[in-house]
Amino acid sequence: MNNTIVFALSSSVGLAKEICKELNLPLGKCEVKHFADGEILVELGESVRGKHVYFVQSTNKPVNENLMELLIGIDACKRASAATVNCIIPYYGYARQDRKAKPRQPITSKLVANLLESAGANRVVTMDLHATQIQGYFDIPTDDITSLGLIADYFKHKEGLDVKDIVVVSPDHGGTVRARNLAESLNTLVAIIDKRRPKPNVAVAMNLLGDVNGKVAVIIDDMVDTAGTLVSGIDMLKAKGATAVYACCTHGILSGPAIERLKNAGLAGFICTNTIDQTEKQKEYPEMVVLSVAPLIAAVISAVEHNSSMSDALSHAFE
């Protein structure tokens, strides 16, 4: 992989370093500058001519700044004659705006796809998209990989916990496939929370489809933002007789009151990944378990560079 360079932009420096360690590559030299008026400059510190470049950048808060950094970095590489520019976007911002839920609304996740392609991206790699059909918004190769294997592995090796006692719970109907896939990995049952969402970031748990009485409930979602939906579901599961409740997600956005809500929810554990950097949040909530997705992303980069099977690479990522 002598022709490969991995650059880190502002939101994912720690993750990019872990990926480079997995690949036995030095982290590419790159500097991001923010001017007083908000303008952004991305300067590459080494030649990319004829190279296969990988930018690692989640577009979490500040969403627009992180997105612009990525677009500007792509442009810098194209103008410096990079052979290919590949965007590793572990958390794809604007993914929740994937359709017109009401008249006169935008489909912003499609707009972001257009921007990345127009800037000159040759490939996009994401993790656990909020809606998998977003892959279809791109006319370039797009790979959406999942962290469910990581999470399943965590529970299989969790000391003092028998997977036979687990029921995997989807927090809504939309997450049923995700919950079923995790349940299949753990060889256990599924339950579904029926909820209503009267407005953004507000959801009310109405009913439970399935049985958690006397069981350990494991809620699985793609993201946790303000944790209001999650806490509502936790309360219901306890009322339905769950002996313990774990909450898991790929993307720990954890906005506003999320940390305080999780602390007070009586969880047996909260598990997320480092698609979004959790260094500061872990200081507030040290009980939070953060799993690294670096081996998965490194496996994807290796598969792309060696023109090998991505599914085989991912299945052997932890061997």
pLDDT in tens, the chain (319 residues): 889 999 999 999 999 999 999 999 999 999 999 999 999 999 999 999 999 999 999 999 999 999 999 999 999 999 999 999 999 999 999 999 999 989 999 999 999 999 999 999 999 999 999 999 999 999 999 999 999 999 999 999 999 999 999 999 999 888 999 999 999 999 999 999 987 666 665 556 578 999 999 999 999 999 999 998 889 899 999 999 999 999 999 999 999 999 999 999 999 999 999 999 999 999 999 999 999 999 999 999 999 999 999 888 888 776 6
Q: Give the closest residue to 245 by CA, choosing from 272, 274, 223, 213.
A: 213
Q: Give the closest residue to 92 by CA, choosing from 133, 63, 55, 72.
A: 63
CA dihedral 261, 266, 269, 275 (to 10 degrees): -10
Q: Distance between CA 58 and CA 13 in Å, rounded?
A: 10
Give the pLDDT score at 204. 61
List, as own/partner pairs, every contact residues 235-238 make where C-beta atoms lie below 8 angstroms and the sequence separation is at least 24, other chains included: 235/205, 236/193, 236/205, 236/208, 237/169, 237/193, 237/208, 237/212, 238/266
Give the pLDDT score at 319. 61
Give the pLDDT score at 163. 94
**Which residues of 256-307 form beta strands (DSSP E)?**
269-273, 289-291
Give the pLDDT score at 245. 98
Orientation of helix 13-23 relative to helix 294-306, angle to 10°? 50
Give the pLDDT score at 318. 62
Q: Give the closest residue to 214 by CA, choosing from 167, 179, 154, 157.
A: 167
Contact 274, 249 (CB under 8 A): no
pLDDT per residue as tens digits for the range 19-28: 999 999 999 9
Give the pLDDT score at 194. 85
Where residue 148 falls (left for φ over 0; alpha for ψ -120 to 50; beta otherwise) is alpha
Looking at the annotation, which residues are catalytic? 195
Give the pLDDT score at 266. 95
DSSP string, 207-263: EEES--TTSEEEEEEEEESSSHHHHHHHHHHHHTT-SEEEEEEEEE---TTHHHHHH
